[in-house]
Structure 1
Amino acid sequence: MTEAATPLIGRDGDLAELERRLSQAGEGRAHVVVVSGPAGVGRTALVERLADRHGGPVLRATGMPWEARNDYGVLAQLMPALDVAGDPVEVAARFTAGLATSEDTTLAVVDDAHLADRRSLQVLASAVRHHPQARLLVMATAVTDDPTLPADVLDLLPRIATAEITLAPLSAPEVSRLAAARGVFLHPSMAESLWRHTHGRPRPVVQLLAEVPHSTWARFDPTLPAPAAVAARVRERLSRCSPAARALAEAAAVLGPGTAARDVARLAGIEGDLLSVLDEAYTTGLVEFAPRGLTEVAPRDSMVRAAVLAAMGPAAAAAAHRRAADLMDDPARRLRLLVAASPVPDPAVADQLDTLAAEHAAVGAWGTAASLLHDSSRLTDDRLQRESRLTRAVDASIGAGDVFAAAALVPEVESLRETPLRNAVLGYLAIVRGRAVEAESRLGRAWALVNAERDPDVAAQICQRYVLHALMRGRGEELVTWADRAVALAGPEAPAAVEAAAIRGLGLAGTGRARQAMADYADLGERVRRGAQAQRVVMARGWLNLTVDAIDDARADLASAVPTTFLGGSTRISLWARAWLARAQFLAGEWDEAVRTVREANPLLERSGIVLAAPLLHWTAVAVHALRGEWEAADEALRRCDAGPQDYELMRVASYLAHAHLAEARADSSGVLRALHPLTQPWAGGSIDEPGHWPWHDMYAHALVVEGRYAEAGTFLRRHERLAADRGCASAVARLAAARGRLLGAQGDLAGSTTAFEQALETLETLPLRYDRARVNFAYGQTLRRAGKRRRADTVISTAREIFASLGATTYVARCDRELKAGGMHAARSGREAGELTPQEEAVAELVARGLSNREVAAELFLATKTVQYHLTRVYAKLGVRSRAELAARRSSSGSPAPSTRQEIG
């Protein structure tokens, strides 16, 4: 394959560093660069890529175990005719003299330098140190993780190196990219399994991609083998072991990582000198010790473990797993060992797995439950029971947030007979994948088929899925109804009932009953204090706190609901918590933290396949980047926000708001109206209109005023002002009051406008909403300036500018500066020469030269379009230009900044 066809994944920085060293060598600064890392990490591939790109001479040598004690063996490979008589310094002089005499740089590659002879390495080191002007780069690759390697060479290599590059393993996404480059497309959970199995080392990844059947990569949680080369090496090492050391290695492979040394010894039947047996097994590279010392023994890695088990053979491995199960006190671990020992159905073990899965499901530990149920289904002989357990395994995978693993089992589940549970599970999967129409159909079919009296647990499960479905559709009344049904059918302590109750409060809040919701969450929080179910309650309570302006409480709740480490907490809930946490941080002015929260959530979002949370997460990122003038980052976040299906109302609302934020930051009021117009349609309603839930109403009203649609703005505001007052939502009251102030100011009622703005600012004094305070001050200042109250406008806009500057909102800082300049309070009021532009004319000229239309300039400066035209006519006359193009050229030649696109407008 050509270089272009075999991308070097994850090594761009390392390759750039090697090319830099090669360039220095070409300038007469010789180097010995040691590229090290664990076996299979891609050392040779990296160095060979550099050699392929190098246009000059390349000398090659490879260290061999049988030549390690052969003086000058590597040097003879590099330069066969070299006279090696004398000490290393003399040989080094002859070596450099024998290099190409042209201007080309010589690249000397010593692969597997940890197996090279010391004399050759000494000569190469002397060549570089005694002849630094030589155009020579020595590239030596070395393995660092093999306990059998000679210590003298490993000690010598870093001492002779002038630079070292230590290669890190690939990440799971990079493993996925490597697979894709070789025509194998892995879902994220499979890529993560392959990454864990290979420790992210490219060589075994590539070997397994070539050796394992393609169908394996689409399966749920397959058992991956060792690459053939690893298996052969392990068989050879096992054959050299004493019987005791081999038994120890086999016992470690059966029991797996994290096993006490005494348990490994018991399974291996070792009663005598355990330390000497451990020492032998360790030096062969078959086992390793835990970081705490000799108390725990484990296989060297998962590939070695797979190779040892394969070498044992199926019968011996199964027998060893059964013996190991008898030694275990932990029931879960005992069952895992029995599963590994059961190649055929085993009803007794299957029933035990089912019972244990139910225990984990009861506390919301869905990831563990999914794995147990999948094993249980495999060991179940009865067809109906096997199908039920497989279906429940898919449901548990979705609950854990592993949508890709669940989707891998969908073809198998869809082939099963139709049952209410089957439809409910497929409906659940459709929900988390953002497919509302499919979810509605699947859940409707499940509810039509279920007999609630005979199977109340399945009926309650369907109800709980409907609760989530109603939440995503913004239908609060439906949500509460389905939640109450779930609790009535299953009882308040059942997992489905607890999950439904955790969301029920959001339905209450979405129908104006926030106080009742808060009281209910207080009671539920007392009942559900631990485990993954508590994560659901805390997340929902944090979401509710955000809607009622309890920003500090929201941040505390949402931050505590982010981890998924306790009892297999839900990835879906963690993503929701991160999305709303980012929103709380944005509102509180913690914008760096908000962007960090979104960035840290992205890998989890991509790995899980849960598209529901994507628009909500990226909405906040769009807002921050746009307000900071980071237009490329804002556009990228908007692309992520819009990616994938958006059947659900809550996904669409977040996307609409992201578009509106970007338009408002660009002073594009018509763009704001276009983005938010769908929210004014009949489908929207419900919680989407509830004050405090989705802050879009004031944005829409401001844009209506700027566009001169005063009557529409008045009608729109009246309805939402009444609702905000009825609900007692202070943030919504303040935001709408500011929009009212802008409307009254545009209509010439300065007294009424001032009252409205002052009410907004007074309300915001009690809330930690820094961005809102800046935004209200800015609109207030614009209104005052338009009314001719320049001194007051200057004070108010300066306040806005200070807050925007503290937030890093460069877009609005620049806008404030233009407002202050247009107001003229900071400009000299005397000595203006005839023909000199006024501050207002200067502001208009600057924006027109930047490429804005008259309408856009009017929106930016909060002026009438006719006023902009008037000022522009005077600018043309004073400057002696006849067109916008001439004005832009004139100002560009005079050094005034004139970005060429709308995106650059602050």
Structure 2
Amino acid sequence: MMVVAACVGREQEIATILARSHAARRTEFMMIIGERGIGKSTLLTHLANRHNESADTARTLYAQASASDHQSAGGVLRQLTQSSDASRAALADVLGDLDAPTLITIDDAEFVDEESMQTLLAVIREQRDRPTLVVMSMTPSTIGRPPGLLADELRLRGIAAPAVAELAAQRGIVLHPAMLESLTRHTGGNPRHIVSLLDELPAGTWSRTGIALPAPSYLVDDVRTRLHKCSAPARALVESLMIVDEGEPLSTAVTLAGLDAPLAALDEAGDSGLITLGAALTPADAQPRPTDPLIRAAVLEIMGMEAVGAAHRRAAELVSDPARRMHHQVSATPTTDSELANDLDDLARRRSADGAWAEAAGLFRQAARLTSDPVPRDTRVTLAVDALLAAGDCVGAAALVPLVESLRETPLRNATLAYLAILRGRAAEARVRLDRAWDIVNFDREPDIAALIAQRYVLHNLVRCQGDELVEWADRAITMAGSQSPAGVEAAVIRGLGLAWSGRPAEATAEYADLTDRIRFGAQAQRATMGRGWLQLGLDDVGAARSNLETAVSMATLGGSTRISLWALAWLARTQFLTGDWESALHNVEQGRALARSSGIELASPLLNWTATAIHSLRGDWPDAELSVADAATSVGDYEIMRIPELLARAQIAEAAADYEKVRRILEPLVTMAADVPGLAEPGWWPWVDVLANALVIGGELESADALLTPYETLAEQRGHRSASARLKYARGRYLGAIGDIHQAKRAFSEALELLDGLPLRYDRARVNFAYGQTLRRAGKRRAADAVIGTARELFVSLGATTYVERCERELKAGGLNVSRGERGDVELTPQEEAVTALVARGLSNREVAAELFISPKTVQYHLTRIYAKLGVRSRSELAALRRPSTAE
């Protein structure tokens, strides 16, 4: 057994190759392509070990070629045969006649000697029908295959941040989340680079943030060697390209390098591997840049501080963009400079006004470094954190929180820390900090700070689902800051939701129409578009909602906010769930989850998990559903916009499992919450009343169901909200059927379906049809019930909701019209008795069977008594044993 270094972050690749090996029915080839240091050797040795462990009869051959093997005839073949015999017969004998999967791994295959390769291919072709997988690793720059060799490729990329954290933990290093992201990005996830930096840099480095990481020493030595091989013009061009920003034209670097004829130098620099020319084929298309961040760091280290500073000063005189000019000036300035700091502060404020918060955050932080006066310095540090939060970078902002908390108390400091608390879902902390900020702000001297605090109250009340308070604070913020200010615009784009939750949906619609016409570009436009999509979803304009939410998601690449992108993804996924596009919904959920993890924003996670839970439970993917609920529970703060979807997700699993008593227990707290939370009580925003009322009816609590439904039915009718009214009529139909008023029940269900007609809400239509059919069957209308449940089944089939497809099929069997006598077995059981038998044999209690079949527990017991007598059994366990073969399906 080979002993190798830990293999971190490669489980998926190893599992993929092992599955390919075990599934092989004949000889197949695979190439593992990856840069040096990416972990090809470690992966192959772990793969060989795992293959050996996977089956006693599996055969694994391993070889690692080297540059010396290239000239040594048969060298790799001797490794494979584990002998001095490099003959064709020796390899054939090693492979033997086993039918078990054989894995042959060859590391650094570019160095395999020709004799070994030709012999290996000849033997394998002779035995091409045996199950063999040949896996060879190569670096991209040396890929060369023997003629006629067809091989699949697996490109080995850098490891992800969690694996980087694991590598650090193995060395006793805990990385700050911001530093973890920086290290992963800086190294491209290359394990060799990561391990080298972890070992070389002082331990204190990893608890800091916002610092530029160097290159590993071995890479610095390699780059120094390559630079020394370059001519003076090529070296000057390489060094200049490390100084100028990526967006600058080539002419800036050429001028900085002092070159008159740059093309020869450009070719030489490209050949050195220190820069990349991309896909350029002509000088006009050339956009050279450093090969990667590590190359840039290595070149700058080799140049030295003095040369780098001088280059930045010269570059500042060449560039025209003010932000880039100041970037070079800052890079060349090691001490404080009040004039430059003031210029940076002014530019940062202009960038903030445009919604370019990430750029503004960097400018504010640089301005703070160059400021000697502690009062403006503290303000600029705080504004840097605030801008990071506005950009949605909670991880980066949190890294600076200890510094901000150490500063003197100011209204801005409290408002910024409240902002972070809001994004992390901490309502109580946010309220305390906002109240304190509002109490100490001077409205005459700090009107902009007062407006900022008011805008934070707007956000606070948004995630509390408070309508009137949201509108009140939005109006204050707009009055104080002006409608065109960043605080005023953000307050305005949220205000419409407050209007809708205050019972003024028409005003909200008009306001968003005006906003999206007025604000067409940048991050503020993303806010307006997302808010409008959220409103439209709540008001049943589903097609327009999807369009606007998709637009808001796409605007993330044009300077949008991570926070707004998260909400757009969450509500877009919800829209896709309701309309039946479940694969797209899950894709957007995963995108949202990844964004939430990288940004540190927790507010939208329960909403994302609610959609995932619904889809998984309806598909019968119970482990995934439970994982989503568990994930939601870990991220739930004390804001209503987090607590509500977490409860709805848990109720969704219980309803899909027909555990209506559990549904009731989960959702009953919402009855009390709705009295104080307008966004929860307004029709169309959170579908909980119908779910709870349905559970109450099935549990026999008819008076409670009626009392719950009545006020919400009145409100939905007043608002003219179609889908909310349809959902309530669905529950009302259940109630009417339960009290025996089948005529009014049929009317309620029919009206629900009419309200849904024309709306693309496939899941809601399926639910209504299913409940309608169950109610008809209970009333003895078997033929009508079959038709309606058949419609429900087709809808559930189209959605992939296997949980309810199976329930529909049981309902159809219980109805008896679609079951032949031969299907009932030797003993004559009625269709209803057959359904009860199947569920009891699965281990369900009488109450659970009653909920599943929409009958009373007493009726279940009546059927069981008859079933026992007919089948000659005396207990549930005997019944289960008798029916075990049929229940296995």
TM-score by length of 1: 0.90
Partner of 2:264: 276
- Residue 594 of structure 1 pairs with residue 593 of structure 2: no
Partner of 1:290: 278
Q: Deviations over 1:332-352 (max 9, x none)?
A: 222222222222223233222
Q: Is the 8 A contact 1:581 1:597 kept in 2?
A: yes
Partner of 1:223: 212
Partner of 1:902: none
Q: Is the 8 A contact 1:288 1:298 kept in 2?
A: yes
Give the whole-Å Cα distance in 1 for the aligned partners of 2:190 and 2:611: 36
Q: Which amino acid aligns with 1:193?
A: S
Q: Deviations over 1:42-92 (max 9, x none)?
A: 12222333455687998866534xx588564956995999999xxxxxx74
SS class of match (2:308): helix
- Residue 761 of structure 1 pairs with residue 778 of structure 2: no
Distance 1:198 1:101, change over 3 A: same
* More deviation, 191-200/461-470: 191-200
Q: CA deviation at 1:627?
A: 1.4
Give the whole-Å Cα distance in 1 for the aligned partners of 2:658 and 2:82: 75
Partner residue of 1:334 out of 294, 301, 325 = 325
Partner of 1:678: 669
Q: Deviations over 1:434-489 (max 9, x none)?
A: 11111111111111111112101111111111111111112211111111110111
Residue pairs, 1:699-714, within 5 angstroms = 699-714=691-706
SS class of match (2:683): coil
- Residue 780 of structure 1 pairs with residue 779 of structure 2: no
Give the whole-Å Cα distance in 2 for the aligned partners of 1:831 and 1:169: 57
Partner of 2:55: none
Q: Which amino acid aligns with 2:33?
A: S
Q: Is the 8 A contact 1:506 1:544 kept in 2?
A: yes
Give the whole-Å Cα distance in 2 for the aligned partners of 1:69 and 1:202: 27
Distance 1:866 1:252, change over 3 A: same
Partner of 1:304: 295
Q: Which amino acid aligns with 1:284?
A: S
Q: Deviations over 1:150-195 (max 9, x none)?
A: xxxx535676787765423334454444444544444555434323
Residue pairs, 1:407-418, within 5 angstroms = 407-418=398-409
SS class of match (1:698): helix
Partner of 2:533: 542
Partner of 2:711: 719
- Residue 377 of structure 1 pairs with residue 368 of structure 2: yes
SS class of match (1:563): helix
Give the whole-Å Cα distance in 2 for the aligned partners of 1:825 and 1:140: 62
Q: Is the 8 A contact 1:31 1:128 kept in 2?
A: no
Partner residue of 1:143 out of 139, 152, 175 = 139
Query: Percent of pairs identical after alignment?
Result: 50
Partner residue of 1:344 out of 335, 346, 358 = 335
Partner of 1:570: 561
- Residue 748 of structure 1 pairs with residue 737 of structure 2: no
Q: Is the 8 A contact 1:188 1:606 kept in 2?
A: no
Distance 1:879 1:126, change over 3 A: closer
Q: CA deviation at 1:631?
A: 1.2
* More deviation, 474-483/169-178: 169-178
Partner of 1:88: none
SS class of match (2:138): strand
Q: CA deviation at 1:615?
A: 0.6
- Residue 888 of structure 1 pairs with residue 880 of structure 2: yes
Give the whole-Å Cα distance in 2 for the aligned partners of 1:789 and 1:58: 69
Partner residue of 1:639 out of 618, 630, 634 = 630
Give the whole-Å Cα distance in 2 for the aligned partners of 1:108 and 1:668: 52
- Residue 517 of structure 1 pairs with residue 508 of structure 2: yes
Q: Deviations over 1:594-650 (max 9, x none)?
A: 222212222112111111001111111111111121212211221122122421111
Q: Is the 8 A contact 1:464 1:486 kept in 2?
A: yes
Q: Is the 8 A contact 2:21 2:103 kept in 1?
A: no
Give the whole-Å Cα distance in 2 for the aligned partners of 1:493 and 1:831: 72
Distance 1:807 1:832, change over 3 A: closer
- Residue 395 of structure 1 pairs with residue 398 of structure 2: no
Partner of 1:42: 39
Partner of 2:417: 426
SS class of match (1:611): coil
Residue pairs, 1:3-42, within 5 angstroms = 6-14=6-14, 17=17, 35-42=32-39
* More deviation, 44-53/660-669: 44-53
Q: Is the 8 A contact 1:63 1:74 kept in 2?
A: no
Q: Is the 8 A contact 1:400 1:568 kept in 2?
A: no
Q: Is the 8 A contact 1:124 1:138 kept in 2?
A: no
* More deviation, 539-548/598-607: 598-607
Q: Is the 8 A contact 1:61 1:74 kept in 2?
A: no
Q: CA deviation at 1:658?
A: 0.8
Q: Which amino acid aligns with 2:530?
A: M
Partner residue of 2:457 out of 457, 466, 470 = 466
Q: CA deviation at 1:15?
A: 6.6
- Residue 263 of structure 1 pairs with residue 252 of structure 2: yes
- Residue 801 of structure 1 pairs with residue 793 of structure 2: yes
* More deviation, 645-654/15-24: 15-24
Q: Which amino acid aligns with 2:17?
A: E
Partner of 2:242: 253
Note the aligned Cα RMSD (angstroms).
3.4
Partner of 1:903: none
Partner of 1:203: 192
Give the whole-Å Cα distance in 1 for the aligned partners of 2:303 and 2:582: 57
Q: CA deviation at 1:260?
A: 3.3
Give the whole-Å Cα distance in 2 for the aligned partners of 1:387 and 1:781: 67
Q: Deviations over 1:412-431 (max 9, x none)?
A: 11111111101100000000
Distance 1:2 1:601, change over 3 A: farther
Partner of 2:229: 240
Q: Is the 8 A contact 1:849 1:898 kept in 2?
A: no
- Residue 657 of structure 1 pairs with residue 648 of structure 2: yes
Q: Is the 8 A contact 2:8 2:163 kept in 1?
A: no
Give the whole-Å Cα distance in 1 for the aligned partners of 2:339 and 2:624: 56
Give the whole-Å Cα distance in 1 for the aligned partners of 2:547 and 2:29: 53
Q: CA deviation at 1:120?
A: 6.3
Distance 1:187 1:552, change over 3 A: farther
Q: Is the 8 A contact 1:474 1:649 kept in 2?
A: yes
Q: Which amino acid aligns with 1:781?
A: G
* Equivalences, count: 878
Structure 1 unaligned blocks of 5 or more: 85-90, 900-906
* More deviation, 485-494/119-128: 119-128
Q: Deviations over 1:573-595 (max 9, x none)?
A: 11111111111122222222222
Q: Which amino acid aligns with 2:66?
A: G
Q: CA deviation at 1:398?
A: 1.0
Give the whole-Å Cα distance in 2 for the aligned partners of 1:68 and 1:193: 39
SS class of match (1:612): coil
Structure 2 unaligned blocks of 5 or more: 53-58
Q: Is the 8 A contact 2:91 2:120 kept in 1?
A: no
SS class of match (1:561): helix
* More deviation, 325-334/106-115: 106-115
Distance 1:854 1:428, change over 3 A: same
Q: CA deviation at 1:118?
A: 5.4
- Residue 866 of structure 1 pairs with residue 858 of structure 2: yes
Q: Which amino acid aligns with 2:264?
A: S
Q: Is the 8 A contact 1:175 1:191 kept in 2?
A: yes
Give the whole-Å Cα distance in 1 for the aligned partners of 2:104 and 2:716: 75
Q: CA deviation at 1:505?
A: 0.9
Q: Which amino acid aligns with 2:201?
A: V
Q: CA deviation at 1:871?
A: 0.7
Q: Is the 8 A contact 1:625 1:633 kept in 2?
A: yes
Partner residue of 1:689 out of 681, 688, 697 = 681
